[in-house]
């Protein structure tokens, strides 16, 4: 008979699997409590970092329909359930793992597919959503400025042409006026 606290833990983890946009499975052996707290702060609001027993996580993943992660649930396992941008959480985990060799990224799950460590690192190399939106806005603004300059160019060319013709007519009139008295 399953204990009620374990059933509740499995249900909670399964719900986290269902509601998260991505998950990253890590091994945390050798990290102190203060280092784990530091990692949780680094993740911020983009992810929940949860330490759980492998048997409970396996059951929860099965209940949530997550497949392909069974091999990762070995040893001291902790899972980052990404609630926001997967890029931000992947960067935070990768950077923390670089500074703390005790944290090992094992793999992850996103969009219905398991992710390798290499794929998680590639996600971490991407720009965040905000940066990509800013780049797109800058590109749109540049194109609009180019279009405005292009639409304005014919009008300014016509104005310069009219000014040049007017100047040429003044010169021609001035030349004719200068030549007329000389003939008398």
Same domain, 107 and 53: yes
Domain end among 90, 105, 126:
126
Buried b (16+ CB within 10 A) or exposed e, 118-144: eebbebbeeeeeeeeeeeeeeeeeeee
Same domain, 51 and 80: yes
Q: Is the pLDDT of residue 183 over 70?
A: no
Q: Is the pLDDT of residue 1 over 50?
A: no
Same domain, 97 and 53: yes
Same domain, 157 and 82: no
Collect all residues with Cβ–Cβ distance below 8 Å to 80 and sequence separation of at least 6: 23, 24, 26, 43, 47, 48, 49, 50, 89, 93
For the CA atoms of 167, 173, 174, 175, the dihedral, rounded to the nearest 10 degrees, stands at: 110
* Percent of the chain topping pLDDT 70: 95
Collect all residues with Cβ–Cβ distance below 8 Å to 37 and sequence separation of at least 6: none
Same domain, 157 and 122: no
Task: Check: pTM over 0.75? Answer yes or no.
Answer: no
Same domain, 54 and 34: yes
Q: What is the pLDDT of residues 94-144, one digit of tens each?
A: 999 898 888 889 999 998 898 898 998 888 888 777 777 888 888 888 888
Same domain, 111 and 172: no
Average the pLDDT over each of 46-55, 76-85, 107-116, 149-158 and give the range with the smallest value.
149-158
Buried b (16+ CB within 10 A) or exposed e, 4-36: eeeeebbeebbebbeebebbbbbbbeebeeebb
What is the chain's length?
184
Same domain, 107 and 137: no
Q: Which domain holds residue 166?
A: 128-184
Same domain, 114 and 57: yes
Same domain, 8 and 83: yes
CB 102 within 8 A of CB 75: no
Average the pLDDT over each of 48-52, 67-71, 125-129 and give the range with the smallest value.
125-129
Smallest Cα–Cα separation from 97: which of 54, 172, 38?
Answer: 38
Collect all residues with Cβ–Cβ distance below 8 Å to 47 and sequence separation of at least 6: 20, 24, 80, 81, 82, 83, 84, 89, 92
State the chain's mean pLDDT as an integer: 84
Q: What is the pLDDT of residues 20-32, one digit of tens each?
A: 889 999 998 888 8
How many angstroms separate the Cα of 23 from the Cα of each of 82, 90, 159? Answer: 6, 9, 62
Q: What is the pLDDT of residue 136?
A: 85
pLDDT band at 181 (very low <50, low <70, confident <90, very high): low
Number of domains in the chain: 2
Find tokens 């009008």 and name the residue: 155
């Amino acid at each position: 008979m399953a204990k009620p606290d374990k059933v509740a833990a499995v249900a909670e983890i399964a719900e986290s699997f269902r509601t998260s946009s991505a998950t990253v499975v890590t091994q945390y052996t050798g990290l102190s409590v203060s280092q784990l707290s530091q990692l949780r702060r680094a993740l911020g609001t983009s992810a929940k970092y949860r330490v759980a027993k492998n048997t409970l996580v396996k059951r929860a993943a099965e209940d949530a329909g997550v497949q392909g992660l069974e091999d990762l649930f070995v040893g001291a396992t902790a899972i980052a359930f990404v609630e926001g941008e997967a890029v931000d959480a992947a960067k935070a985990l990768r950077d923390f793992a670089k500074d703390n060799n005790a944290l090992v990224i094992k793999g992850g799950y996103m969009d219905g597919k398991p992710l390798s460590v290499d794929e998680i690192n590639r996600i971490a190399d991407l720009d965040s959503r905000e940066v990509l939106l800013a780049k797109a806005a800058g590109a749109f603004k540049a194109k609009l400025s180019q279009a405005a300059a292009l639409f304005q160019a014919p009008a300014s060319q016509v104005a310069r042409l009219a000014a040049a013709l007017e100047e040429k007519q003044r010169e021609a009139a001035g030349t004719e006026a200068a030549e007329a008295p000389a003939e008398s």
